[in-house]
A and B are shown apart, each in its own frame.
Chain A
Amino acid sequence: MFRKIVVPLTTLAAVAVLCMIVSPTGASERRRFTNDVYVIGQKASINEPVAGSVQIYRGDVVVANAIAGDLLVLGGSVTFTGAGRVDGNLIYAASRVSNAENRIRGHIYPLASLEGAAVSMTKNAIVASLLLVWLIAAIVVTLMSGREIRLSSAEVRSSALHCFVLGLVALTSFVLTAIAFSYLVPYVVGIPLLAALAVFAILTKVYGMIAVFHAVGTLVAGSRTRQQLASRKWLRGDLAMVVIGVLLLGAIRMIPVAGTIVWGLASVFAVGTALATKFGRREPWFLEFRAANA
């Protein structure tokens, strides 16, 4: 009965998805790619109008004419002069943009919005605010599923290298999958797929970070012996370990440069341990079928 319903429904869903991929809703988006300009690690000047987008990676560019598409600047500098303007959006990260006032028709997006917001307020205040959110999320998740968090924490402590490698590969996979899905954005199915991937990635990161908080708390303040555990009043239990982990990693996060690196590494471990333990459920992601012994 189950198969009679599931198989046709799955087939119908697959056909529907295929139809959504095949039937374009905005295929003209692709033509914009044909006139793109790339600047990687060098100095350049945009003196002629560009029909597509301009991407600058670690380079210095002077924009003296119109760019019909978007301007993406990652780790470089852009200076607008003369008739230089952007009809699309300006997206930048770790970059210096000069003389861009009234020359961007679309929006200006600082990709690293944390740094962008730090212009008007201290970065540490923002970090402290985010730390508060992390703390509340960690407490709620630990109260709801402490055993799962504990298992994932044990995994990251006992198989740190595996978790790190898995985290690196998984993050790369997320990015590549997002790029692959971005090809489908002009079609109906692209945005839902990207949204689903984003939700999964965020859940993985959040759960994994809480497990890493627990692991850090246990490594620093966990009881080593039964007598030590019995003598403690405050520093015992999953909740205490998670809180200590959040506060420790949060304090490190406030250190310039080092904090970002440590937090980034913790994120890699987080994704790795969340996936390695299947969110603490101790179930295999893929069943390995073996022939039954007679």
Chain B
Amino acid sequence: MTPCDEYLEDPEANAAHLETCLACRALVEDLDEEIEVRHRPLNVDALPLAPWEGASHRTWPLVAAGVVATLILAIVLFFAAGVSSLSGITQAVLSAIPPVQPVVRVLQLTGHALGVPMVAVLFVVINTILFFLLRRAPRGYDV
């Protein structure tokens, strides 16, 4: 360990080192200089609104109003159509799930219509483009 290292490790115990070393003395003089702090008036309200400001607020009356309004709308529409509301809503939700067997069959038929070489080429090309698109980082600002 050099004398400079010893001084940097324990400046008080090796204070005499400053008298002999120009480099360390210059360093200490630099560090001892006072930093001028310029105070500027900062108007927080003038800064743009950050997305996270007020984000944790939970407006339960609005949520309840939205759910109730949608529920009433669905019940009234089913009632107008002459369908039991409960079974109507259940059927509507179940109808949104596509049947598995025909979807698989359509995929098979489409794959056969396109042909294996075409599917292979398209698969590689599209997934390569997807790979390069996914390499882009999202816009970085704190939310």
Pair A240/B59 contact, Cβ less than 8 Å: yes
Bits for B41-71, please: 1 = Cβ < 8 Å to A, else 0. Answer: 0001100010111111111011100110111
Q: List 27 A-B contacts (CB under 8 A).
A: A53-B109, A72-B105, A109-B101, A113-B99, A121-B83, A122-B81, A125-B81, A125-B92, A129-B74, A130-B96, A132-B89, A147-B143, A151-B143, A154-B143, A159-B139, A179-B110, A179-B114, A183-B111, A183-B116, A225-B49, A226-B49, A234-B59, A235-B62, A236-B54, A237-B56, A237-B59, A240-B63
In the complex, what residues of B have CB within 8 A of residue A180's CB? 111, 119-120, 123
Count B-side interface residues using an 8 Å CB cutoff: 71
Separation of A55 and B66 alpha carbons in the complex (Å) = 44
Pair B138/A169 contact, Cβ less than 8 Å: no
User: Chain A interface secondary structure, helix, strand, loop or mixed?
Assistant: helix
User: Chain B interface secondary structure, helix, strand, loop or mixed?
Assistant: helix
Q: Which of A132, A143, A223 contacts B70 (CB 8 A)?
A: A132
Pair B138/A155 contact, Cβ less than 8 Å: yes
Pair B57/A237 contact, Cβ less than 8 Å: yes
Residues of B within 8 A of A (CB): 44-45, 49, 51-59, 61-63, 66-67, 69-71, 73-74, 77-78, 80-81, 83, 88-89, 91-93, 95-99, 101-114, 116, 119-120, 122-123, 126-127, 129-131, 133-141, 143
Q: Which of B70, B81, B119 contacts A135 (CB 8 A)?
A: B70
Pair B122/A176 contact, Cβ less than 8 Å: yes
